[in-house]
Amino acid sequence: MAADAPYTYYEFFAGGGMARCGLGIGWRCLFANDFEPKKAQSYAANWGGDHLHVGDVWKIEPADLPGRADLAWASSPCQDLSLAGKRAGLGGRRSSAFWGFWRLVEALNREGRAPRSIVIENVSGLMTSHGGADFTALCQALARQGYRFGAMEIDASLFLPQSRPRLFVLATRAEVPAGLTGDGPALPFHGGKVEAAYERLPEALKARWQWWRLDPPAQRNATLADLLEPDAAVLWHGQDETARLLDLLGPVHLKKLSAAKAKGGRQVAALYRRTRAGVQRAELRFDGLAGCLRTPGGGSSRQFLVIVDGDQVRTRVLSPREGARLMGLPDDYILPPRAGAALHLVGDGVAAPVVRRLAEGLLQPLALEHGAVFEPPRALAS
């Protein structure tokens, strides 16, 4: 990151700085925050700690945030919104941290230095949490502070061999250049969930909605197998552990395994464990994708690999470096030394190539328009 980079940002709930990795050298971080000291250590190891504030977002004061940023990025905690969680919503113990961030935006707005654009990244479950009420509350908050906004659901599998759909709400106070929005939804980023979330909004909020236009990437060529470490460099399960894992497969997934054996040659699958009706089961996918990386608080946190070579079947745990590659992090990214901490870090992040596409296609053009700030004609009623 160059000291004279043209665009500036705040990064909230920064984790290991994966949004920072995606934004790249054209963006200069003015302030970063995370609550967890271990994640903050990884952030500092990779990006330095000059602008890093470690602690509760509720205890940050507006005076702690320097200048006026072109962008505020907020990947707020998702545990209370995830389908793998208890769906407590934005009022849940963890996900309510979003409102700690939002009080800062409100305070900055009163000082005349609200971020010109905001990206709120979270699980897709935010669109349906509490029957859509949480998403409506989010849009209401954005509108009250003078932002126009729209949502996209972007699956990291378009960029990387990992199935990871996430919601990205982009809001801006800048004038929107021609070509950045359309008249209605467009695939692949405005699927049925986004359309349904829009339709549930009150008319006053629909009037402030933007159907953001973002070009999809070129077709992905890499598969899960392409990102794996050499066989000799990793630790494999013994036969007994492999047998215990495969015993968790149900009939459908046993058929997948049999088909892979019959196909011949080397076949690579991701295996993850789920609890169905109180019974733990394992599921396989041979489609070249890993399942969504998760944290221990968000469902199946450990992902396994199954390598089929003829009749031989071997299994092992996905390595931290492989997990980092599945998030688009370079191999020189410094991971925590303990495997559990490293997998937790990458499972709780944002896929860097998705951030890069957003930056190039939308965030940088909006930042260039920062001289023309959009103000609402009147405040919306509470």
Residue 96 and residue 181 share a domain? yes
Q: Considering the domain boundaries, does residue 110 fall inside one? A: yes
Residues 149 and 272 occupy one common structural domain: no
**What CATH number did the domain enclosing 87 receive?**
3.40.50.150
In a domain, 329, yes or no: no
The tokens describing 168, both together, are 């990205």
Q: Give the whole-angstrom CA distance, residue 45 versus residue 267.
A: 36
Predicted local distance difference test score (pLDDT) of residue 369: 74
CB count in 10 Å sphere of residue 327: 25
Report yes or no: 348 and 17 within 8 Å, Cβ to Cβ: no
Number of domains in the chain: 2
Triad 336, 338, 340: Cα angle to 5°: 100
Look up tokens 């409506």; give the residue.
136
Calpha distance 68→108 (Å, rounded): 8
The answer to whether 173 and 375 have CB atoms below 8 angstroms apart is yes
Those residues whose C-beta lies under 8 Å from the C-beta of residue 111, and which sit 6 or more positions away, are: 62
Same domain, yes or no, for 192 and 87? yes
What pLDDT sits at residue 301?
60
Q: Does residue 327 lie within any of the structural domains?
A: no
Residue with tokens 């250049």: 177
Residues of the chain with pLDDT below 50 are 78-85, 87-90, 92-95, 298-299, 372-382
Give the SS3 label for residue 130.
Answer: helix
153 in a domain, yes or no? yes
At residue 297, the pLDDT reads 52
116's torsion region: left (phi>0), alpha (psi -120 to 50) or beta? alpha
pLDDT for the residue 83: 39
Q: Are residues 71 and 128 in the same domain?
A: yes
Residue 23 sits in the same domain as residue 171: yes
For residues 289 and 353, membership in a common domain is answered with: no
Tell me which of 282, 302, 318 is where a domain ends.
318
Looking at the structure, do residues 147 and 263 belong to the same domain, yes or no? no
The residue segments making up the domain with residue 49 are 7-219+346-368
Can you list the positions of beta strands (E) in the chain?
Answer: 7-12, 27-34, 52-54, 71-74, 117-123, 148-155, 165-172, 181-182, 211-212, 266-276, 279-285, 303-309, 312-317
166, 171, 175, 179 alpha-carbon torsion, rounded to 10°: 20
Residue 178 lies in a domain: yes
The answer to whether the beta carbons of residues 169 and 120 sit under 8 Å apart is: yes
Please tell me whether residues 158 and 300 are part of one structural domain: no
363 part of a folded domain: yes
Looking at residue 347, its pLDDT comes to 92
Q: Do residue 234 and residue 209 come from a single domain?
A: no
362 in a domain, yes or no?
A: yes
Question: pLDDT tens digits for 133-143?
Answer: 999 999 999 99
Query: What secondary structure letter does DSSP report for 63?
Result: G
Please say whether the dihedral angle defined by the alpha carbons of residues 73, 358, 88 and 129, taken in this order, is positive or negative: positive
- Asked if 296 contacts 344 with a C-beta cutoff of 8 angstroms, the reply is yes
Q: Is residue 377 part of a domain?
A: no
pLDDT for residue 192: 96
* Same structural domain, 360 and 275: no
**Chain-wide mean pLDDT for the chain?**
90
Contact 133, 205 (CB under 8 A): no
Is there a single domain that holds both residue 159 and residue 30? yes
Domain identity same for 354 and 288: no
The per-residue DSSP string of 314-336 comes to EEEEPPHHHHHHHTT--TTSPPP
Q: What is the pLDDT of residues 63-93, one digit of tens each?
A: 999 999 999 999 987 443 343 445 444 454 4
